[in-house]
Structure 1
């Protein structure tokens, strides 16, 4: 992927057009979202290739002709809709993806409900190294402290975004992590979130026992999910703030698991967390890290999505982390006293699995 970014991919005219799309970005986003949420695109799709007249769309969605007209004229410029020969409205391929593509909808809902207002404060976040947009969601030092306190809609968008990628990646990863030769009987999960990995693990391996380390609010959410399924004898909890360097992780584990977790921290914090993970491991234990690195992607679209997500961390999550270039991340692993003994790319939509062992 790195070589892709060494080239120029637009002509001057194409570049100027892209610059105008960027300049109108907030407008473009909200028009697309409203066309989706007000069912306008759906009504147009249902009319099939023959298209549908403006007045008929208005009747079906219950909005004024003016409201629908201004939205659809903007939609023409965004290539969400097109005119038929008799100037009725028909759906384009891009409009189809706005309606039906799971990745697009997860991204759009996350941006609307979590990121949109907060991004106004990006400049301040860049200048201060603080998540200046976070107060748009709540009064916390990081977003993770407030996940259990977000509104139901915000929680839905945040967790659906987070789980969309891990849910696809977990099935192939489970087969790899719990291979008999890895001898994992006790696993320490740092950043357990809602307990999805722990639940998936207990279903896959009937013997493994797991300890989840996470913030008290997050640990409580995971515990409820675990308790509801009667798995308290196989999953226990260690509520703690991993950013507190005085926090010592419990010890005696065959493996440490971190999924979509270390991207939530600065380079210095990654080193600190990994060092303490090392102290939690048995002599021959391993750390397994599942992350999405933008430079490891096969397609430009995947890299683009990951690169933009970095800005969420800057403006909202904590002010100092990102979705990493794998080369930057690997330097943290080495600095923490580990070596990568196995790397598997192309997992799920975008993930890489790293297996790390203590050096020497």
Structure 2
């Protein structure tokens, strides 16, 4: 939960100026760190262990010009990825170790570089126009969702790796809550590649799933579903949830929305929830699972979520973000529902709202 750390400003003037000075160079330093990984240079530094390794040895082993190895390693000292030892040898630092080997950091790095980096040049235009002005760097779409299945590699892989990493870890944690009333039919709104629906069918042998999504996403999900032999239990309902009068399948015991509503503006969220709720009966529940920046127990996850908000601004749609939990609650209430259960998922990052008809 939010602990008030955004209220604090404990830096001395000198510390504050130093932070601001370094911020001006962050985009360049990020690329240095990425290239140290992609070229294998940082891996070679790690292999040198405590004894260290010289730039000459690395250049020779990787067939990279010595100039390039030297300049990257020198800059890595200021970043904090390496340490310079006696006899001009480099060893890896604690930060360098995590940058090289931590899966979450690798996923974030690839996502920022492949999906977001070029488009950020257009951020100011996106802010002033409420349009995803940076998306033109990836393709000719108004919103990224239209082109997810058409993205070039490695952009597509980086996008889906990022999306799945931050949802898959939570699914098993919330299944006891989702299945406590033995639902027979679950509507998976924004089901994307079908991972949640597939996981539900693996968890419960009787449940039937319907995925609501755009045609491109459903076609990708259907392929995964068919390969697993689950086409008799998971069906698709192709639809744009933003059309004026969307028709959802009726009599859903549960309507599920996981990391989906952050893809829309507050007005669009109200539209989606109010229309999806028409598929509910009096005993149904609508579940929303989201990463709320104010619910993070540490500054780093909140920092990552704020960065993700800018992806939505410049690259995805121009009008959504990672939300404050109370903003989402207000959207639920405006849509004619009420939050009856508010659960902090065990992984510490996600929040699960159980909503019912008001």
TM-score by length of 1: 0.97
1:89 counterpart = 2:90: yes
| Alignment match, 1:20 | 21
Deviation of the 1:13 alpha carbon: 2.1
Residue pair 1:58, 1:64 contacting (<8 A) in 2 also: yes
Structure 1: 4+ residue segments shifted above 3 A: none
SS in 1 for 2:133: coil
Task: Determine the C-alpha separation between the residues in 2 that align with 1:2 and 1:294.
Answer: 11
Deviation at 1:244, TM superposition (A): 1.1
Question: Are the equivalent residues in 2 in contact too, given 1:190–1:212 (CA < 8 A)?
Answer: yes
Q: Following TM superposition, by how much is the alpha carbon of 1:2 offset from its aligned partner in structure 2, in angstroms? A: 5.5
Aligned-partner SS, 1:152: coil
Cα deviation digits, residues 292-323 of structure 1 (max 9, x gap): 00000011111110111000000010000000
Deviation at 1:22, TM superposition (A): 1.3
Q: Report the secondary structure of 1:16's partner residue.
A: helix
Q: CA–CA distance in 2 between the matches of 1:200 and 1:152?
A: 26
Report the alpha carbon displacement of residue 163 of structure 1 after superposing the two structures with TM. 0.5
User: 1:349, CA displacement in angstroms?
Assistant: 5.2
Take 2:223 and 2:24, find their aligned partners in 1: how far apart are those partners? 45
CA-based RMSD of the aligned residues comes to 1.1
Distance 2:5 2:322 in 1: 18
2:138 maps to 137
**Contact 2:297/2:348 (CA < 8 Å) preserved in 1?**
no
**CA–CA distance in structure 2, aligned partners of residues 54 and 320 of structure 1:** 46
Mind listing any 5+ residue stretches in structure 2 that lack a counterpart? none
Q: State the partner residue of 1:281.
A: 280
- Structure 1 stretch 21-30 or stretch 104-113: which is displaced more? 21-30
Distance, in Å, in 1 between the alignment partners of 2:250 and 2:10 is 51
Q: Superposition pairs for residues 224-263 of structure 1, below 5 Å?
A: 224-263=223-262
**How many aligned residue pairs are there?**
357
Task: Quote the residue 1:197 is aligned against.
Answer: 196
* Corresponding position of 1:178: 179
Report the alpha carbon displacement of residue 16 of structure 1 after superposing the two structures with TM: 1.7
Alignment match, 2:354: 355
- Kindly indicate whether the alpha-carbon contact (under 8 Å) linking 1:145 and 1:217 is maintained by their aligned counterparts in 2: yes
Structure 1 segment 109-124 matched on structure 2, within 5 A: 109-124=110-125
Report Cα offsets for 1:263-293 as digits up to 9, x if no partner: 0000000000000111011111000111000
Q: TM-score, normalised by structure 2?
A: 0.98
Answer yes or no: is the 8 Å Cα contact 1:288–1:353 preserved in 2. Answer: yes
SS in 1 for 2:83: strand
The answer for the alignment partner of 2:76 in structure 1 is: 75
1:85 Cα offset (Å): 3.3
1:323 maps to which residue? 322
Q: Which moved more, 1:185-194 or 1:84-93?
A: 84-93
Question: Could you tell me which residue of structure 2 aligns to residue 3 of structure 1?
Answer: 4
The answer to whether the 8 A contact 2:170-2:345 is kept is: no
